[in-house]
Amino acid sequence: MARKGFVHVGNKVSAIIHKTLISRMMKNTAVLLVSCPDQKGLVASIANFLLAHNANILHADQHQDAELNLFLMRVEWDLNGFSLPLEEFAAAFEPIASKHEMTWRLAESARKPRLAIFVSKFDHCLADLLYRYQSGELHCEIPIILSNHEDTRWLADTYRIPFQFIAVLKNAKEEAEKIQSTILHRERINFIVLARYMQVLSPEFIRQYENRIINIHHSFLPAFHGAKPYHRAFERGVKLIGATSHYVTETLDDGPIIEQDVSRISHRDSLEDLIHKGADLEKIVLSRAVKWHIDNRVLVYANKTVVFD
Amino acid sequence: MARKGFVHVGNKVSAIIHKTLISRMMKNTAVLLVSCPDQKGLVASIANFLLAHNANILHADQHQDAELNLFLMRVEWDLNGFSLPLEEFAAAFEPIASKHEMTWRLAESARKPRLAIFVSKFDHCLADLLYRYQSGELHCEIPIILSNHEDTRWLADTYRIPFQFIAVLKNAKEEAEKIQSTILHRERINFIVLARYMQVLSPEFIRQYENRIINIHHSFLPAFHGAKPYHRAFERGVKLIGATSHYVTETLDDGPIIEQDVSRISHRDSLEDLIHKGADLEKIVLSRAVKWHIDNRVLVYANKTVVFD
Amino acid sequence: MARKGFVHVGNKVSAIIHKTLISRMMKNTAVLLVSCPDQKGLVASIANFLLAHNANILHADQHQDAELNLFLMRVEWDLNGFSLPLEEFAAAFEPIASKHEMTWRLAESARKPRLAIFVSKFDHCLADLLYRYQSGELHCEIPIILSNHEDTRWLADTYRIPFQFIAVLKNAKEEAEKIQSTILHRERINFIVLARYMQVLSPEFIRQYENRIINIHHSFLPAFHGAKPYHRAFERGVKLIGATSHYVTETLDDGPIIEQDVSRISHRDSLEDLIHKGADLEKIVLSRAVKWHIDNRVLVYANKTVVFD
Amino acid sequence: MARKGFVHVGNKVSAIIHKTLISRMMKNTAVLLVSCPDQKGLVASIANFLLAHNANILHADQHQDAELNLFLMRVEWDLNGFSLPLEEFAAAFEPIASKHEMTWRLAESARKPRLAIFVSKFDHCLADLLYRYQSGELHCEIPIILSNHEDTRWLADTYRIPFQFIAVLKNAKEEAEKIQSTILHRERINFIVLARYMQVLSPEFIRQYENRIINIHHSFLPAFHGAKPYHRAFERGVKLIGATSHYVTETLDDGPIIEQDVSRISHRDSLEDLIHKGADLEKIVLSRAVKWHIDNRVLVYANKTVVFD
């Protein structure tokens, strides 16, 4: 019966998603991300390879880290007219890749990555992500929302996304992570977003999703890492508050930063005002990071990110 | 039956609103807004009046416009212990007000203003306002959403707010406005927000709600007033896009500006990117303006605003 | 002979300063800064006192810290027509001050505070301050520049400000500070600006100028306090760099923050780019803090600042 | 005798410039800027050409304008080891250029462009540019400053740059421009910066330096183009003020925008405050545009700019 109540919403949502799907499917491109030791001839090698298969390059961007002698590249091309079937790409590209010791990855814009959102009680980031997802701004699937609280179930219901409550009890985190992992595998999840999820994940769990778990921390890292950053910002008397989106690593709040931003505050702002203004920051910063990750714009090296724009 | 489907949501929403109500009701304050010709003794007059009735002033802020010789003040005090019943305030304050030729207005924080939202097809500002309303950030009632399209009804349903479709046909705007006015009066509406409402209101309609209709324009006014500002910004090759929230006056996009902000763009941003980035700006700028209006922080003079922070 | 060369510059500078002096002298105001335990009737007390002496209030601003039950106020009034000679102010105000346990301070806009600038090798902040001083933007006297290097002497010469080289040798900081203190007393210095001065001052020295030594730190504090903040920001891969101006306390980089700001960077920015972009930030942030200090807009409490705008 | 007075300054300046020269001369690179109709194989063509001559590419960036079917590219490579003498570049590159209908230009980082600054009375932008020039931040020569007033001669003297006063009388602009042009040719000027130069240049003059005259306008264009933008911003009650740097075209304040930025203001800011805050914006925005122009990062098309970062 409950589902009945959402029929109108559901149809509306479906209609919008359908429209979006079509518009996105018309964007039929491939993205190649490469990192390797810097050397002469890399751009020519890649460009010639793509040209040989009749690729129409739409965007190409590269970055050299002179100190680490590293070359990083993102190239996107139209698949219309591309003469190499993507399932044969790896074999065909292999000689170039091994010659230049490349780490590389290929992504198709038409294939949407599958995202699992972890959330606790605060719902502003979740609400923002779901609205963007529904409006077609986030080009992904969201097959599951996992939470250690029931508070945000109504949002999942509104957008008709399965919601799974998994209690995380003291001294029983391992058990909870086992259940989480099972669900993530079952749903063939590609990446995870911690939308103000208030539990620390174990190193074992994190290693399964290296550079594929995006967190939002409510401070301008490295300032105020750890707990209660707004309280500490208020106490310290800073004039700007910040938010940071980063990939999760085994060291708390220390992973590669994807995006940061700040908002001005003054002595007139109470702690409650900081929390309200910060919530807006968190939403914007997290949604940018998620969007860039989905669009294959982020490359990690040396605990930093290159964000190709 | 459709209502049944929202039972869970409804309870959740009610619970949250209830929590908020309580927290807000504990904030039991009055706000006095004054403007008058500048002269000596104004601050003392007002402070003495309030002290005589045992007011505990929580915030006081004032502004002098030297050129226009104008004095503007906002003062907020705790009603606990205030010895003057608010229904007797006008009579008691009258001697001071008339002596100094004051224009003034009194507001109670416990009495929530009633807001009507006008919307067309774009739903991002509406979705943002409704989420903030539901989370307790906007201290108002929203008894009605009016639209000339059906597209956003699902959002109204989600948040259980009555939605009224009113067609606005060519050459029949007057008729539509009559229906709108009737509903606004019936619902005892205090102020209106145009959340990307794509119809121009008549001078007659606007006069009924002077300085009480808030619009969001998707440009940095006065640049790109009128239609299709993102298209024109894209064509002009600006390096920042903006959004402006202002009170509606009879001249299009020319009313007193409440808030503005901008976002950086580059040559890499397509027109579609501008529209996406702009949507985030519009939400933030409009929600700030609405919040300040509700909190009685905005005073209009000389087609400008003073925003007491 | 060397001075001869500056005759033209000197005349020009004099002319500009002269013009400014006149314009500033026409601004003949007093500023009263007050902090005390919050209680009813404070605004009325002060307003009545000023009114009794025929003050024309130009600006009044106040702040309450609810948690600490603290009241802070800044009020500025025109001295034209003010009937109380300022040398009698203290005696007249005393009853009110002691009744409310006020800490207070009175400043005359016509009396320019005397600033000593400390600098090492980097000259961008010094150059910026001197240009603003000369253009009349900083309403102060600068009788002396002290440096532990000779590198910036040319700037002091350009603006015709005495420059004193004082070597700060290892294990002889105490000796250097004695010489510095002697000069500061001789020049009747009111406040000190550390314009990228690369020596740590002793607690004894700092105590002499409590809340009167302004430092610029080239990071967004509390992130990257201590040495080489740009290097560490570069290594951490942050997406924004910052600068912080604060009063110096005995704990390094921990004093009350007056102003902060940030600039966006990307992976394309080298360490050298960070240093260049940061220099612009440092100049802006430091000059704002200095200006606000001169204008008596900054009040310190609980290791924070209130900046009345 | 007057020159004697600058000996110390002069030596200092020389020393700094010398140091900078050396550091810059070690950066021995070439930059190729290309624009042409978009088509397959462009990146491969250019990359292969450079590789054939043993170029070590340091940066490459490109942009496609899908609507106009335009391809734009900037590529920078190390000249150490580059086997093609630059005087033979044009002949060698010609076949590729004509095949793809390229408009292109080659620049050597070691060859500093020659800049003439035009200025009137306001000196903040001039002072800022000269300080950056002297500190080595602007990699150019400044052989001449031209002004229709004597006010800024002292700044030119300080930095030992020739200063030429040229009166611009009503009805005699043509005559003044003739003198200006003669000097510009004599000094082999590559580009011009209007550092708050308050005269409108004739179309004939502008055509001689197409996309090589950089202006700073003290508003967020297209808002408040023309005269007195701060006055008009103040009157309109905007909440942010802006500055815009653009190439000068025959239509006033309408040329391709290179950079823009804004600063927040409030009702507390007087017109004088706007002018002060705006001056800081103007300096930053103009200096960025000048730096990018010098570094050959700016390409103009369709009255817009691509700024390769």
- CA D213-D216-D221 angle, to 5 degrees, is 110
What's the confidence (pLDDT) of residue A67? 86
For residues C191-217, give the mean pLDDT. 97
Is D40 close to A48, i.e. CB distance below 8 A?
Answer: no
Cα(first)–Cα(last) distance of chain C, in Å? 46
Rounded CA-CA distance B227/B217 in Å is 10
Q: Is residue D118 predicted with pLDDT exceeding 70?
A: yes
Rounded CA-CA distance D3/A142 in Å is 74
What does DSSP assign to residue C266?
-
Mutation pick from B158, B161, B262, B267 vs chain A, by most beta carbons of A within 10 Å, is B158
For residues D75-102, give the mean pLDDT. 96
Rounded CA-CA distance C118/C206 in Å is 13
Rounded CA-CA distance C250/C197 in Å is 16
What does DSSP assign to residue B226?
S
Which of A136, A138, A116, A111 lies closest to A31 in space, CA to CA? A111
Rounded CA-CA distance B169/D261 in Å is 42
B253 touching D, CB under 8 A?
Answer: no
Q: Judge whether B24 and B109 are in contact, CB under 8 Å.
A: yes
The model's confidence at residue B26, banded by pLDDT at 50, 70 and 90, is low
Could you read off the pLDDT of D133-186 as tens digits, one per residue?
Answer: 999 999 999 999 999 999 999 999 999 999 999 999 988 899 999 999 999 999
Rounded CA-CA distance C294/C214 in Å is 11
Could you read off the pLDDT of B51-80 as tens digits, one per residue?
Answer: 999 999 999 999 999 889 999 999 999 999
Could you read off the pLDDT of A33-61 as tens digits, one per residue?
Answer: 999 999 999 999 999 999 999 999 999 99
Q: Is residue A3 predicted with pLDDT exceeding 60?
A: no
What's the confidence (pLDDT) of residue D69? 94
Chain B neighbors (3+ CB pairs < 8 Å)? A, C, D
**Over chain D, what is the mean pLDDT?**
91
CA distances for C77 relative to C47, C72, C89, D98, angstroms: 11, 17, 14, 73
CA atoms within 13 A on the CB side of B309: 18
Active site residues of D: 253
* Percentage of chain C exceeding pLDDT 90: 88
Is D131 close to C135, i.e. CB distance below 8 A?
Answer: no
* Percentage of chain A exceeding pLDDT 90: 88
Could you read off the pLDDT of D192-203 as tens digits, one per residue?
Answer: 999 999 999 999
Rounded CA-CA distance D99/A293 in Å is 38
Domains and CATH numbers, chain D: 29-108 (3.30.70.260), 114-307 (3.40.50.170)
Taking CA–CA distances from A219, the nearest residue in chain C reads C223
> Regarding predicted confidence, which is higher, B161 or C60?
B161
Q: Is residue C2 predicted with pLDDT exceeding 60?
A: no
Is D260 close to B239, i.e. CB distance below 8 A?
Answer: yes
**A275 Cβ partners below 8 Å, 6+ apart?**
A230
Residues from chain A contacting residue D47 (CB–CB below 8 Å)? 43-44, 47-48
B158 touching A, CB under 8 A?
Answer: yes
Q: Are strands B213-217 and B191-194 parallel, antiparallel or unpaired?
A: parallel
According to DSSP, the residues that pair with D35 across neighbouring strands are D72, D103
Q: How far is A220 from chain C (nearest CA, A)?
A: 8
Is B2 close to A13, i.e. CB distance below 8 A?
Answer: no
What's the confidence (pLDDT) of residue B16? 43
Task: Name which of A240, A256, A306 is nearest C262 (Cβ-Cβ).
Answer: A240
Rounded CA-CA distance C117/C126 in Å is 8
Q: Report CA torsion sign: D291, D293, D299, D305.
A: positive
Could you read off the pLDDT of C20-74 as tens digits, one per residue?
Answer: 444 444 579 999 999 999 999 999 999 999 999 999 999 999 999 988 999 999 9
